[in-house]
A and B are shown apart, each in its own frame.
Chain A
């Protein structure tokens, strides 16, 4: 018997050849996105490629139909609407924490809307520019309401659940040292195990960014049993990122963010954007492109703002749609007129 006879060898080699012929189909290079002019590259390609998180509740996560939903995902749609007038001309590329900066640098994505903390070292050494902080986050603590703890300062001697190797762990240690608080860290890599350790009572408190705490809390059996302490121990401004040295595209992402803020400030919503075109206030007129020609200054059409607002609504609506259901409060993300940090320079 000759089971692996010449016939099989030949079959294998023909198969290899066939696959080899099919491969160039896969090797098709993407449309170039040079650092110098992202806007032209995006226009030539006909779609914006946006780097998002691989899955973070409220910010970017595919729904059951595989459509990307969330606060960051809608920022991508807003930029696409500003450029093309069509929020669907966007391709979402899920990026992990490790590959996100390379993906941007190498031109695999045009921009990052991926809850990335704006820090000096990242801004200067990673070949990217942060353009606008679309969400002010910060590290906080969650405890069981039954523990009766009202402030993080009361966590003396507590066991605290934390993920290893993140800035979260570093912040926790720094904060404890500064406040002379002794604690026992329970360090668990996998989020699911970490959470079950917290829920089962192995640790008194769980620490991560407040947005993450809120998402976790809302998924508990009885959210009211858990309390997010008011103390914030770190600054985590989550910002949009573009490739370094492309001022035009940086301006576009920055002003899309400011547009969403200004629209909220002046009461322009997804529903009333058409009526607001008749609003007599000069700034509203300029925002909506009735006069001033601001869109053209950005290299876009003057109707860009109308397209963006029709597509996603203003900042407040985005927040209401994606983050409020998770129990995230406006807090520092309220408009400056309401005591928050979100401030837009004037449209003129």
Chain B
């Protein structure tokens, strides 16, 4: 800011040679003075917090890096136990990382779920880039998701067949979250539109759906899908456990997202609807060209909020015996040799969740800023 005074025509007279602002006013020092040490109270608070922060960081570094044990020879964890909690035992991650990431998937076939995880990430990156926001994106999704299915199941092209109950780890979390939101989002838009419909039957149906689903916790939906639903099916008929959980998650996410989308629809000025009608557009033209683009743009923050929530909610499938990322992490430390190293495992799993959720959150911030550029004054 102080640079503005430099080289300006005002500095014509020799005495007025432009000088930089005092060091105590600019840069890091100036910022710290203005924000951290502006009064005796602020100074005291800053010092106390800085002390606590530094102590915590030093303690954590000591535990996590200095005193940590990175590997132990074949499951001999005595060295880790001798630390008595003064150092981390990252050996548990070295030993168990493949189980945490891929669960009980056959060990020699781990490249398949690994490739699937990369495909998922690639899919997210491509979908995030605006230059791919074309009809071909739909095709890309269909192809990649089919490819992921083929890779996971196998049974074709020389890949051995792997039944669903052996899938696990990160790839389950990504499958549940991606398929869940990919289906729930279109469903949510339809339900939101249906709730504002003038046709009483459709409206009632949508209201009923949303209220019924929102009225029960996700955990009870998952229980219904895994405990009650199979009893209603004819003897000998079985729908895959993962699929049942997936449908429960789609229905649940759909109801919540529908309310978010409806919020956007209602926030849109009535004039927009009337103008579209005045142009003589049909209902679907009006919705597709005028209403939804504006309504969805308005609800990006709550949408992403719900997405992030659901990404983490997928871990609830542990109650029906599906090994998602978190459950695989918990299961990894059941083996007696590795019991008691929960903190290391939870930190690792937490870091993986954080990377995904933080990426979503950052992306939505950029998207929001970009899409609302026209509103900025």
Contact = CB atoms under 8 A, between A and B. Distances in A.
B175 to A, nearest CB: 10
Nearest to B179: A19
Given A22-B146, A99-B223, 10 more contacts: A4-B297, A14-B139, A16-B182, A27-B240, A32-B237, A66-B166, A102-B231, A106-B230, A108-B241, A326-B336
A95 B318 CA distance: 10
A272 interface: no
A5 interface: yes
The 9 A-B pairs with the shortest beta carbon distances in the complex, nearest first, are A18-B142, A14-B138, A32-B236, A106-B230, A4-B293, A219-B339, A66-B104, A15-B138, A15-B141
Secondary structure dominating the interface of A: mixed
A98 B227 contact: yes
Nearest to A95: B321
Interface string A1-26: 11111111111111111110110011
Contact of B331 (A26, A54, A108): A54
A27 B104 CA distance: 21
A16 B183 contact: yes
A303 to B, nearest CB: 28
Interface in B267-324: 288-289, 292-294, 296-297, 318-321, 323
B336 A57 contact: yes
A15 B107 contact: no
B331 A62 contact: yes
A15 B235 contact: no
A215 B333 CA distance: 13
Nearest to B78: A221
B224 to A, nearest CB: 11
Interface stretch (A86-94, A175-183, A259-267): A86-94
B134 interface: yes
A91 B243 contact: no
A67 interface: yes
Contacts of A27: 239-240, 243
B263 interface: no
Interface string B56-85: 000000000000000000000000010010
Contact of A33 (B138, B186, B236, B288): B236
B138 A61 contact: no
A53 to B, nearest CB: 9
